Amino acid sequence: MRNYLRIASYLIAFNAISCANAGPREDFFRAVASDNPSAVRSLVQRGVSPNVQDERKQTGLVIALREGSPKAARALIEAPQTDVNLTNGSDETPLMMAALKGQEEFVELLLKRDAAVNKPGWAPLHYAATTGQVNIMKRLLERHAFIDAQSPNGTTPLMMAAMYGSADAVRLLLAEGADLAMKNEQGMTALDFARRGNRPDAIEMLTAAMARAPQRQGTGKW
């Protein structure tokens, strides 16, 4: 029993020292994780940059959107100091994460802050197409998202929709004129992606679109 009490006292002392040594940066990420907007605002007002990255090169805003801390996310988007186009260590922007998660409210808030719709490499439209977020895809296309954007390995939003997204996502991209003939670095087209993903709905739509393609006029794609 005496040994147990001694160990417990050591643990309490260790935790107290750890908390005492925790700096504003750690407090910031703790506030984000616990979805505490008042703490987030207070720390930013005290000089903590909302653009600081953690040890994994993640930004507070991307973490809030990815992990489900909506109040903290709103506080960060509203903070004038927040760079809404800052990427994390995986080259992901907050708009990409909101698009992936289907968070239409935050997509709108980010667009109002002039979040970039287009960027080199993976782009928000790729992420929205991956999870079939049709309303967000429409919004991005309205803001002139490049429909045939290519990831670092040449993958397009249509390819992602064909393999992972929904039938409606594929249908939307086809209706908006996505290029069926494009290939990624492995030589795969969107139809190949649909076949690899065992997506009969996408295979049917893409095959039908390819059959109609010779009758298209003035697209410059075929």
Higher pLDDT pick, 91 / 2: 91
Predicted TM-score (pTM) of the model is: 0.85
Look at residue 17 in the predicted model and tell me its pLDDT. 37
Q: Residues of the chain with pLDDT > 90: what percent? A: 85
Look at residue 212 in the predicted model and tell me its pLDDT. 87
Q: CA–CA separation, 127 vs 99, rounded Å?
A: 6
For the segment 178-204, the average pLDDT, to the nearest whole number, is 97
3-state secondary structure of 172: helix
The dihedrals phi and psi of 53, each to the nearest 5 degrees, come to: -110, 150
CA separation, residue 202 to residues 55, 130, 169, 197, 199 (Å): 40, 13, 9, 9, 5
Look at residue 8 in the predicted model and tell me its pLDDT. 46
- Domain 117-222 in the same topology as domain 1-90: yes
Q: What is the pLDDT of residues 85-127, one digit of tens each?
A: 999 999 999 999 999 999 999 999 999 999 999 999 999 999 9
Look at residue 15 in the predicted model and tell me its pLDDT. 44
Q: CA–CA separation, 132 vs 199, rounded Å?
A: 13
Burial classification of residue 155, based on how many CB atoms lie within 10 Å of its CB (0-12 exposed, 13-18 middle, 19 or more buried) = buried
Evaluate whether 151 touches 127 at the Cβ level (below 8 Å).
no
CATH second-level architecture of 1-90? Alpha Horseshoe (1.25)
Q: Which value, in Å, is the radius of gyration of the alpha carbons in the chain?
A: 23
> Where do the domains of the chain lie?
1-90, 117-222
Q: Which residue has the tokens 């709108």?
A: 108
Higher pLDDT pick, 148 / 221: 148
Look at residue 113 in the predicted model and tell me its pLDDT. 97
For the segment 179-198, the average pLDDT, to the nearest whole number, is 97
Bridge partners (DSSP) listed for residue 53:
59
**Which pLDDT band, with edges at 50, 70 and 90, does 22 fall under?**
low
Q: CA–CA separation, 174 vs 78, rounded Å?
A: 36
Evaluate whether 132 touches 161 at the Cβ level (below 8 Å).
yes
Q: What is the pLDDT of residues 40-86, one digit of tens each?
A: 999 999 999 999 999 999 999 999 999 999 999 999 999 999 999 99
Evaluate whether 130 touches 101 at the Cβ level (below 8 Å).
no
pLDDT at residue 164 tops 60: yes
Q: CA nearest 36: which of 60, 66, 18?
A: 60
Fold of 117-222: 1.25.40
Q: CA nearest 82: which of 67, 101, 63?
A: 63
Q: CA–CA separation, 198 vs 209, rounded Å?
A: 18
Q: Within the chain, where are the H helices?
A: 2-21, 24-33, 37-45, 60-67, 70-78, 94-101, 104-112, 124-130, 134-142, 157-163, 167-175, 190-196, 200-212
Burial classification of residue 207, based on how many CB atoms lie within 10 Å of its CB (0-12 exposed, 13-18 middle, 19 or more buried) = middle
